[in-house]
Amino acid sequence: MGRADGSDRRVTTADVDDADATILHVDMDAFFASVELLDRPDARGKPAIVGHAGGRGVVTSATYEARRFGVRSAMPVSQALRLCPTAIILPPHYEKYTEYSGKVMDIFHEVTPLVEPLSIDEAFLDVAGARRLLGSPRRIAELIRSRVREETGLTCSVGVAGTKFMAKLASGHAKPDGLLVIPPAETVAYLRPLPVGALWGVGASTQASLERMGMRTVADLADAPLTVLQRAVGDATAHRLHELANGRDPRRIVTASREKSIGHENTFSVDVEDADTLRRELLRLSGRVGERLRKHGMVGRTIAIKVRFSDFRTITRSRTLAEPTNVGRRLFEEAWDVFEALDLHLKDTPIRLIGVRAEQLADAGGDALALWDPDEEWREAERTLDAVSARFGRGTIGPASLVRRSRDAEQAERDGRNPRWLSD
């Protein structure tokens, strides 16, 4: 993928277009920071960090000028300032981000009804049906970029390709404020020289395993016998990566009209400050969400947490997953990461309610799960728990950390009051 500071930027400069490259991935550039700069023109072109100074506040976003110093999202602000002492601190305004996200998504929907939001600042679009009215895929991408700039003052990067994976890869390489078209016929040639880490879902540990087997580039992986790849990363991951390395990604656009959510939340009888208690509760709630997803044959693309503090302030935060899932353990790990990223001034306040929700649901039997399932072992373990719970009742067995449950949670389940599950 393109580096966050734009030093590896690739854009389409020649008159490259392809009528079959109908999948677009549009990604706003440093979205939170860019929205803040609309009201701070004095900070434009300078290193700037969105976050709360002091304490253990974390970086919510950073301008590309700050990223060149190594500043990254979720990094402690204190560490970011050591890397970039001249950075300007911009307090976050989440209501603004929601407002501008709505404006951008409206533009997408005016171009095509086939829009799949991935998060507040990015989406896939299928523009096959828009070609007759608006022109070629590249022309449509240029139109979107122009309208976003004119109507919001923000910039975006667009990848144009024949598949979702390649479109997202292209937008990452085009950042910031760029456009990259990868014609479907050139997909494999584009992929082969890239490092294996460019493949979606290859993290540091998987990359290390592949490199130990001599697979450093996508070409190495694509040409390797499947049996060798299976020994390196396991059957499911081997098949998925082999498909990607050869340019195959059958996933279709999942429109926002299908979006639903399933969640659980718990209101504590006594406000909670203890991190271990909150962690156990998030684990329990995530397990319940995963159980309901599996029961309904669905997976979630986005994980969201809800936190209500003792003073009744209520916030929600979310994260879009690389692969949709119905595995409770994966939901928990992502939810806990989101919770830990909360600024100190929030986490130091006692908590009255906490909740977990899976959003942007899709059928578990669809293409998404078949291609993107890194949690095979956890999935099988939780299916076993489902079977035991169906026969002997919930709570018969479960994670060791939940064996000693709080009296609050036990009483909640006895009287049917909390935690409640929500589905809409």
Q: Which residues are annotated as catalytic? A: 122
Of 229, 227, 193, whose CA–CA distance to 214 is shortest?
A: 229
Residues 407/410/412/413 CA torsion (nearest 10 deg): 180
Please give the single-letter amino acid code of residue 236. Answer: A
Tell whether residue 121 is among the known ligand binding residues.
yes
**Strand pairing class (156-161; 23-28):** antiparallel
> How many other CB atoms are there within 10 angstroms of residue 158's CB atom?
27
Of 280, 282, 318, 317, whose CA–CA distance to 300 is shortest?
A: 318
The residues, any chain, with a CB within 8 Å of residue 339's CB and separated by 6 or more, are 278, 282, 305, 307, 317, 347
Tell whether residue 27 is among the known ligand binding residues.
yes
The pair of three-digit structure tokens given for residue 267, joined into one six-digit string: 């209101």
**Strand pairing class (179-181; 156-161):** parallel
> What strands, in cross-sheet order, belong to the sheet with 48-50?
61-62, 48-50, 88-90
Which position has the token pair 């253990």? 56
Please state, in angstroms and rounded to a whole number, the distance separating the CA atoms of residues 290 and 283. Answer: 11
**Burial letters 362-384, b for 16+ CB under 10 A, else e:** bebebebbebbbbbeebbeebee
> How many other CB atoms are there within 10 angstroms of residue 340's CB atom?
12
> How many other CB atoms are there within 10 angstroms of residue 26's CB atom?
27
As to burial, measured by CB atoms within 10 angstroms (0-12 exposed, 13-18 middle, 19+ buried), residue 215 is: buried
3-state secondary structure of 384: helix
3-state secondary structure of 82: helix
Which residues make up each annotated binding site for Mg(2+)? Answer: 27, 121
